[in-house]
Amino acid sequence: MGINVLFFGSLTDATAVAALNNVAAGDTAALQELLHQQYPALRTAKYFIAVNQQMIRENTTLKTGDVVALMPPFSGG
């Protein structure tokens, strides 16, 4: 078990996948660093982060089973 990561909108152009399972990361900053190494195009992308559907602004501790969503600016309607 680890962290589940979801990618949305334009970010899926950078990752080519919609989700990653069982990612090992202790907090959101470490997770971002890991993802930026794996998908360099994410480095320059603008996105928000939600942990278990709550938007976060600062580095947040993660535990097994958490769902982290990377979301570009919304464009519904």
Measured distance CA(32)–CA(22) in Å, rounded: 15
Q: Radius of gyration over alpha carbons of the chain, in Å?
A: 12
State the minimum distance, in angstroms, from the CB of residue 17 to other proteins: 14
User: CB within 8 A of 33, min separation 6: which ones?
Assistant: none
Of 9, 30, 36, 42, the one binding other proteins by CB under 8 A? 9
Of 16, 57, 58, 77, the one binding other proteins by CB under 8 A? 77
Of 30, 34, 47, 72, the one binding other proteins by CB under 8 A? 72
Tokens for 56, please give them. Answer: 């976060």
**Under the rule (CB under 8 A), what is the footprint of other proteins?**
6, 8-10, 13, 50, 53, 69, 71-77
